[in-house]
Structure formats: C-alpha cells, structure tokens
Amino acid sequence: MNVFSVYLTTVVFLPLLQVAKEARGHLSPSVIVISSMSGLTSHAQGHFSYNAAKGATVHLSKLMSYEFKKAGIRVNSITPGYFPSEMMTKQSDSK
C-alpha cells in the first residue's frame, strides 16, 4: 500500500502538474516523496516489510524522476534518518 499510494497520488496529480508547467514556464513543478533511510540500509533492523516498502518508494522516485523529466516535472525523495519513536524501542517489539 505504501508504494501504491505514492504512485497513485502522483499519477492522479500529473495533469495538474503539467498545467502548472505550462502556466509558470521557467518554474518546474515538483513531486516530493517522503521515504526513510531504512529503505537504503542493508540491515533488516527487525522491520522487514517497513524497510522493503521504503526501499520501494525510493526506487519508485528514481523511476518517476526519469520518466517525468520529459514533461518538465521534477521528482525528489526525502529520506529522513533515525528518529526515536515507539517503532524503534524494544518495548514495541514485545507487543
């Protein structure tokens, strides 16, 4: 679902992004995908599906960037690093 929602949202907004490109001329519209450093690591960290989903969003961003540049639309991926949260504590693993 993580990857599909990023793809579907982007594709649904493509017509508006193309109109923005035509209206603004020198300014290129941009898609920003929020992923995670967990998608770039080779360590499972005990979160296999999360890491795989985030890795897929990073790769999807690369693919969309290549394809959409033909239409003058930029695609960028932000991959924040570690942030202390319940997911990162041992307590969440015992639930």
CATH, residue 10 = 3.40.50.720
pLDDT per residue as tens digits for the range 12-69: 999 999 888 888 777 789 999 988 887 787 877 777 888 888 888 999 999 999 999 9
Q: Residue 61 domain-assigned?
A: yes
Rounded CA separation 36/5 (Å): 16
Q: Residue 41 domain-assigned?
A: yes
Span between the terminal Cα atoms of the chain, in Å: 23
> Total structural domains in the chain?
1
| Predicted structure pTM score | 0.77
Domain limits for position 16: 2-81
Q: Residue 88 domain-assigned?
A: no
Q: Residue 16 domain-assigned?
A: yes
Q: Which long-range contacts (CB under 8 A, 24 or more apart) does 46-51 make?
A: 46/93, 47/87, 50/87
Q: How many CB atoms lie within 10 A of CB 72?
A: 16
Q: Residue 91 domain-assigned?
A: no
Task: Report the Cα 86 to chain-centroid distance in Å.
Answer: 22
Tell which residue, 22, 30, 8, 34, has the closest CA to residue 74.
Answer: 30
**Are the beta carbons of 77 and 36 closer than 8 angstroms?**
no
